[in-house]
Structure 1
Amino acid sequence: MGGDDSAPVSESQYQGKSLARIQAVPWLIVILLMALTAWLGWRAFFYQEEGDPVGSAMLAFEKQNSLTVFSSRFEVVAESVNTTSLGPINLAESRQAAIIPATIEYRLDLSTIDRDRFNWDAGDETLDITLPALKISKPNLDEAQQKTFTEGVWVSRGASENLSRENSRQAEVKAAAFAKNPQVLAMARSAAKEAVRQNLTIPLQIAGYGDVTVNVRFDGEKVQK
């Protein structure tokens, strides 16, 4: 007659096994936490995921369609003459000179800067970027702060308006010409390069690319290493 050879498990033995399992759970949690900590440390200090520095650089420009890099405020001198005549006879002549403050802004159109304008050298950790030409704003004349000097025995209201209108026209033309002065343009380009360099260097460092060198130039210029 067959029988079960296994010995019955006593209550004390069953409780001992259960207690052993319960005591093993905290140690298992500790081991898992140690493994997770080791993996995170390895990933932080030894693992370097291949990224896209150009994409990170473009992301820095994503929310800015236009960047004002330089603003120049200066004074423009304009002078005009108005003659009141009756047929061939000049009845009166008036002259007005005006000193008008003007402001010009130089902007960079970031929407035109695509991936083709970037070049990343992974070996040297260098990012080259080529900028488009700066956009020069229309002169903003602060006519409320202008100083005027008027000459004439008698200046009618119409003559005064003509003089003021002509001075404003001259001031705008002169301010636009001054904005293209080579020295002023050089300062604006220098400010643009520095602004772009700062706008790219910090985000790239935060993204984990370390001490990145950012070289900035405009179309037609050589890269300054």
Structure 2
Amino acid sequence: MDEPFLTTDRPTVSGSGAPPLTASSPRAPALARVSALPWLLFLVVTVIAAWLAWRQFRPADIGDPLATSLIAFEKQDKLTVFSAQLAPVVSSDDARLFGLVKSKQVAVIPARVDYTIALDQVGRDRMKWDAANKTLSVRLPPLTVSRPNLDEARAQYLREGVWITRDAQDKLTRDNTRLAEQIAVEQAGNPVLMNLARGAAKEAIRQNLAIPLQVAGYGEVKVVVLFDGEPNPG
């Protein structure tokens, strides 16, 4: 009777002479650490790269709201907030040859007047930030009214006189121009026009300040604009 084929539990020997590695082998943890090392290095490099990218492209610190507001003004010395088109009606008289030759000229000369705010005068001392209510208060200096810009090319003239010399006509025109400028200045200071200009100035300043603050991360803010001499609301 043939003997049964016997097998043994002895591990086979590899060609190198080293025993195979098993879970109970003392070399298994070391090999596991070696295998995990590339992944750890990759993770570290990834974290460092992400941190550098965040540092490079992270949103800037919100910082000081007053400084943010002043930056909105720093590139503008003045801001034109309103323009008025005027049409002064003036007249001048001229007499020559001992009063024997008289002439008169009536003129309608269109004029434009600009109302501006001197932004270079609006400093930190004219601003106040209420963090609790997210409200920025700004006090503006008085409006500046420009010198009238007369459009004599579109002027209309009506002359009276039997004989108007060239010298007389030139004098009448110069006199009417001077008078038209004076009247335009008076008209520009009319309370109705001044109130319209102040309202336009407040709205322009609100827009110039609210948008940069929103972009800087303050969200919806309230901008209260007043002129010197105006009482605080409430």
Whether the 8 Å CA contact 2:62–2:217 is kept in 1: the answer is no
Q: Name which of 108, 111, 131 aligns with 1:102.
A: 111
The alpha-carbon distance between structure 1 residues 93 and 121, as it changes in their structure 2 partners (threshold 3 A), is: same
Q: Name which of 81, 90, 115 aligns with 2:93.
A: 81
Give secondary structure in 2 for the equivalent of 1:207.
Answer: helix
The alpha-carbon distance between structure 1 residues 152 and 206, as it changes in their structure 2 partners (threshold 3 A), is: same
- Write the deviation string for residues 160-193 of structure 1: whole angstroms up to 9, x where unpaired: 0111011001100100000100000000000000
Q: What is residue 7 of structure 2 aligned with on the other side?
A: none
Query: 1:136-151 alignment to 2 at 5 Å?
Result: 136-151=145-160
- The answer on 1:70 being equivalent to 2:70 is no
Q: What is residue 173 of structure 1 aligned with on the other side?
A: 182
Q: CA deviation at 1:91?
A: 1.8
Q: What is residue 222 of structure 1 aligned with on the other side?
A: 231
The alpha-carbon distance between structure 1 residues 17 and 56, as it changes in their structure 2 partners (threshold 3 A), is: closer
Q: CA deviation at 1:15?
A: 6.9
Query: 1:139-218 alignment to 2 at 5 Å?
Result: 139-218=148-227
Code of the aligned partner of 1:20: A
Q: What is residue 20 of structure 1 aligned with on the other side?
A: 36
Aligned length: 206
The 1-side partners of 2:78 and 2:39 are apart by: 64
Q: Give the TM-score normalised by structure 1.
A: 0.82
Give secondary structure in 1 for the equivalent of 2:169.
Answer: helix
Whether the 8 Å CA contact 2:135–2:221 is kept in 1: the answer is yes
Whether the 8 Å CA contact 1:217–1:224 is kept in 2: the answer is no
- Write the deviation string for residues 182-213 of structure 1: whole angstroms up to 9, x where unpaired: 00000000000000000000000111111110
The alpha-carbon distance between structure 1 residues 203 and 149, as it changes in their structure 2 partners (threshold 3 A), is: same
The 2-side partners of 1:158 and 1:23 are apart by: 99
Give secondary structure in 2 for the equivalent of 1:216.
Answer: strand
The alpha-carbon distance between structure 1 residues 85 and 208, as it changes in their structure 2 partners (threshold 3 A), is: same
Bigger proportion of residues as strand = 1
Code of the aligned partner of 2:41: V
> Please, what is the CA RMSD of the aligned residues?
2.9
Q: Give the TM-score normalised by structure 2.
A: 0.79
Q: What is residue 6 of structure 1 aligned with on the other side?
A: none
Q: CA deviation at 1:29?
A: 5.0
- The answer on 1:130 being equivalent to 2:139 is yes
Code of the aligned partner of 2:36: A
Give secondary structure in 2 for the equivalent of 1:128.
Answer: strand
